[in-house]
């Protein structure tokens, strides 16, 4: 029976255009569209797989943000038992050191055996959340994990190295694991089930108080990169682009 | 605090990883700005020979039986002591399965600032690439304490961090108490039906391919062009293609004659594995997709609109 805590956050949807805030040192949060960090989604899946396999309880903790309610209810519909939303001064964004301290404060109360979170997030600028939380909780950390099995006081985690090499790491519990991919792709959950959760599940709101952001990056400026060179863009409709591509393939001796 | 730049050398099964040389090159740039030296930190067991071609002013070597293979706990313990004692201006780690396991823990344990995903050094500042390569952030070093930095490839070539002559090596004492993480075993990569790193033509699919069934379209293209289909991480994580077909950070590095990227945005983790392709053609609907910055040719077009006409044109060619 394992007590698992999942730490999840929302990140900018990179399909949308990103803008820099007036300060020049942060993303403009006002128009940002947020989605669940894909690696947190994998961490959620891994937690629910572990629960299905050997029992236990899954608690998800997320900071408040536009869409955080929906994210939490969706995770509940997938099988999480308990939902916690951290409330605080997050509107202008917070760094991962501050977030990790807030996560650790809430997780400590739950006395977890295992804490799972995404190995990274696309907006990380001061490291990822996992190793910071691990240290604040006094637990071990291992990241780049794509498979977890729990046995008694230890967990065996499959750690990924370049080229497809895997290292099986044995980690003494309690521990924090940074999930790269769950054993299975994140499951789909019907919107009707999510709606049902909105009616039946409760989100436990917790104030985090003053945020301590020390240890973050000292950002001088943020900007959209201008490429020194850019691709030669092929213009026209799909027929024209297709014809031009075939020419290019011919020039290169590929067809 | 002194002005030296430490580089924590990454190695796996007797081989120094390219990211180590890339970090040494970046550290050289930063050391010029701070006026310090580049110091490589090598941890291992009977591994001193790995220092031979590191482009560093000198090497600090820590030997311990618990460091024979990488584990986050043993590395963290060894480095916490060293960084506290030496207090360099900055310490570099790979933004990798090794470096990312220790940099964050050290930041929290020692109360040191951490800057991640650094790709370049400019005027003594750290330039990070975030949001899938769509945003750059410039950060300053702390004037008071050691700044920890994780480094991604892209700004420097490994050759820039390799030396012809061996640097001087000094050993330092390492003490490691009861590690809570241990390596059980390595599991070799699955044997693949094709070796994508040996192919001339790769049709690469990303998130934009949307469904498993759509892979068939890429397969048809690959057949007509005499190549094979490979993918970025999200496609492999869905289980649509085996890990052996994955290009990028935790997959393969490839250098084909043609890399046709369909619906791939070009996040740094992917680009790391394919930037050296001879010709990159990118098809993507997002005009801001970073893949267009490294591609030879690009088209801002829906790949599903393009594939049929392209298959027809190729069949007629």
What is the DSSP code string of B265-306? ---HHHHTTTTT-SEEEEE-S-TT-THHHH-SEEE-S-HHHH
Q: Which residue has the tokens 């500042």?
A: B125
Handedness of CA B257, B120, B20, A214 (dihedral sign): negative
pLDDT of res. A224:
94
Radius of gyration of chain B (CA): 22
What is the arithmetic mean of pLDDT over A182-187?
95
Higher-confidence position of B191 and B277: B277
Residue of B180, B197, B228, B266 for testing the chain A interface, max A β-carbons within 10 Å: B180
Distance, CA of A206 to CA of A68 (rounded, Å): 14
Closest-CA residue of chain B to A179: B97
Q: Do B301 and A38 touch (CB under 8 A)?
A: no
Min CA distance, B271 vs chain A (Å)?
14
Query: Which tokens is B27 given?
Result: 């550290």
Sign of the C-alpha dihedral computed for residues B312, B315, B316 and B317 taken in this order: positive
Per-residue pLDDT at A228 exceeds 80: no
Of the pLDDT bands very low, low, confident and very high (cuts 50, 70, 90), residue B189 is confident
User: What residue of B is the nearest CA neighbor of A164?
Assistant: B189
Q: How many CB pairs under 8 A join A and B?
A: 283
Which of B157, B44, B181, B28 minimizes the C-alpha distance to A178?
Answer: B181
- A171-185 average pLDDT score: 97
Chain A, 96 to 135: residues with Cβ < 8 Å from chain B are 97, 100, 119-120, 122-128, 130-132, 134-135
Using a CB-CB cut-off of 8 Å, the residues of chain A touching B125 are 220
Diameter over CA atoms, chain B: 70
What percent of chain B is modeled with pLDDT above 70? Answer: 100
- Dig out the tokens for B281 from the structure: 């053609």
Write down the pLDDT at residue A1. Answer: 67
Which two structure tokens, joined as six digits, stand for A6?
């999942």
Quick one: which of B80, B37, B78, B76 has its CA closest to B55? Answer: B37
Alpha-carbon distance values, B69 to A60, A164, B59, B74 (Å): 33, 17, 19, 9
- Domains identified in chain B and CATH numbers: 5-172 (3.40.50.620), 196-316 (3.40.50.1220)
B59 pLDDT more than 90:
yes
Judged by CB atoms within 8 Å, which residues 77-96 of A form the interface with B? Answer: none
Alpha helices per DSSP H over A86-167:
96-110, 129-137
| Residues B21 and B162 sit within 8 Å (Cβ to Cβ) | yes
Binary contact (A132, B183; C-beta < 8 A): no
Collect all residues of chain B within an 8 Å Cβ-Cβ radius of residue A97: 107-108, 114
Q: How far apart are CA A14 and CA B120, in angstroms?
A: 22
Q: Give the number of other CB atoms < 10 A from CB of residue B11.
A: 16
Mean pLDDT of A79-91: 95
Residues contacting residue B150 through CB under 8 Å, at least 6 positions apart: A127, B92, B93, B94, B95, B99, B100, B103, B114, B115, B116, B117, B118
3-state helix, strand, coil in chain A (%, to 5): 30, 30, 40
pLDDT of residue A93: 85
Check residue B190 and give its pLDDT.
80
Residue A255 pLDDT class (50, 70, 90 cuts): confident
Q: Does A213 touch chain B (CB under 8 A)?
A: no
In whole angstroms, what is the distance from residue A17 CA to residue B141 CA? 29
| B20 token code pair | 């180590």
State whether residue A253 is helix, strand or coil.
Answer: coil
pLDDT per residue over B4-14, tens digit each? 999 999 999 99
Phi, psi of A97 (to 5 degrees): -65, -45
- Which of B108, B131, B238 is facing A14, going by the closest CB pair? B131
* Res. A155 pLDDT band, cuts 50 70 90: very high
What are the chain B neighbours of A175 within 8 Å (beta carbons)?
180
pLDDT single digits (tens) B218-257: 999 999 999 999 999 999 999 999 999 999 998 999 999 9
According to CATH, what is the number of the domain A2-207?
Answer: 3.40.50.620
B201, B237, B243 member nearest A185 (Cβ): B237
CA distance A235 to chain B (A): 7
Mutate which of A95, A125, A183 to disrupt the B interface (most B C-beta within 10 Å)? A125
């Amino acid at each position: 029976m394992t007590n698992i805590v999942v730490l999840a956050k929302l990140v900018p949807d990179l399909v949308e255009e990103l803008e820099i805030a007036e300060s020049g040192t942060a993303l403009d949060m006002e128009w940002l569209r947020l989605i669940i960090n894909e690696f947190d989604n994998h961490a959620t899946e891994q937690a629910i797989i572990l629960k299905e396999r050997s029992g236990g309880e899954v608690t998800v903790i997320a900071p408040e943000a536009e869409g955080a309610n929906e994210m939490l209810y969706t995770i509940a519909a997938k099988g999480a038992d308990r939902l916690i939303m951290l409330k605080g001064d997050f509107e202008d964004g917070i760094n991962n050191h501050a977030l990790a301290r807030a996560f650790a404060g809430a997780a400590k109360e739950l006395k977890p055996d295992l804490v799972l979170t995404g190995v990274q997030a696309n907006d990380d600028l001061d490291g990822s959340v996992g190793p910071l939380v691990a240290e604040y909780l006094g637990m071990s950390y291992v990241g780049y994990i794509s498979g977890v099995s729990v046995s008694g006081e230890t967990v065996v985690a499959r750690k990924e190295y370049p080229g497809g090499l895997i290292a099986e790491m044995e980690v003494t519990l309690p521990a924090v694991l940074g999930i790269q991919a769950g054993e299975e792709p994140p499951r789909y959950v019907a919107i009707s089930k999510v709606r049902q959760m909105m009616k039946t599940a409760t989100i436990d709101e917790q104030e985090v108080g003053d945020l301590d952001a020390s240890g973050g990056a000292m950002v001088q400026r943020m900007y959209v990169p201008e490429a020194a060179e850019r691709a030669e863009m092929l213009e026209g409709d799909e027929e024209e682009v297709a014809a031009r591509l075939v020419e290019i393939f011919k020039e290169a001796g590929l067809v | 605090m002194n002005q030296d730049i430490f580089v924590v050398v990454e190695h796996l099964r007797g081989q120094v990883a390219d990211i180590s040389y890339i970090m040494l090159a970046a550290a050289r740039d930063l050391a010029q700005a701070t006026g310090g030296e580049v110091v490589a930190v090598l941890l291992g067991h009977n591994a001193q020979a790995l220092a031979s071609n590191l482009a560093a002013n000198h090497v600090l070597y820590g030997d311990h039986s618990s460091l024979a293979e990488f584990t986050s706990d043993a590395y963290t313990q060894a480095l916490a002591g060293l960084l506290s004692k030496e207090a360099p201006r900055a310490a570099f780690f790979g933004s990798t399965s090794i470096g990312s396991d220790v940099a964050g823990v050290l930041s929290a344990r020692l109360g040191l600032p951490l800057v991640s995903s650094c790709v370049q050094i400019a005027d003594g500042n750290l330039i990070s690439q975030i949001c899938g390569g769509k945003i750059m952030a410039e950060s300053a070093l702390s004037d008071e304490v050691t700044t920890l930095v994780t480094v991604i490839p892209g700004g420097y070539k490994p050759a820039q961090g390799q030396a012809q002559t061996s640097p001087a090596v000094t050993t330092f004492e390492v003490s490691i108490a009861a590690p809570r993480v241990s390596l059980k075993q390595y599991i070799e990569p699955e044997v693949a039906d094709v070796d994508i790193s040996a192919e001339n033509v790769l049709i690469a699919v990303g998130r934009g391919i949307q469904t498993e069934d759509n892979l068939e379209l890429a397969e048809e293209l690959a057949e007509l062009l005499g190549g094979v289909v490979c993918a970025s991480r999200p496609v492999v994580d869905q289980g649509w293609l085996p890990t052996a077909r994955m290009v990028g950070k935790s997959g393969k590095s490839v250098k084909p004659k043609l890399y046709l990227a369909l619906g791939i945005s070009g996040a740094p983790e992917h680009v790391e594995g394919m930037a050296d392709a001879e010709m990159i053609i990118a098809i993507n609907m997002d005009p801001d997709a970073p893949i267009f910055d490294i591609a030879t040719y690009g088209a801002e077009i829906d790949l599903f609109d393009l594939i049929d006409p392209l298959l027809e044109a190729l069949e007629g060619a």
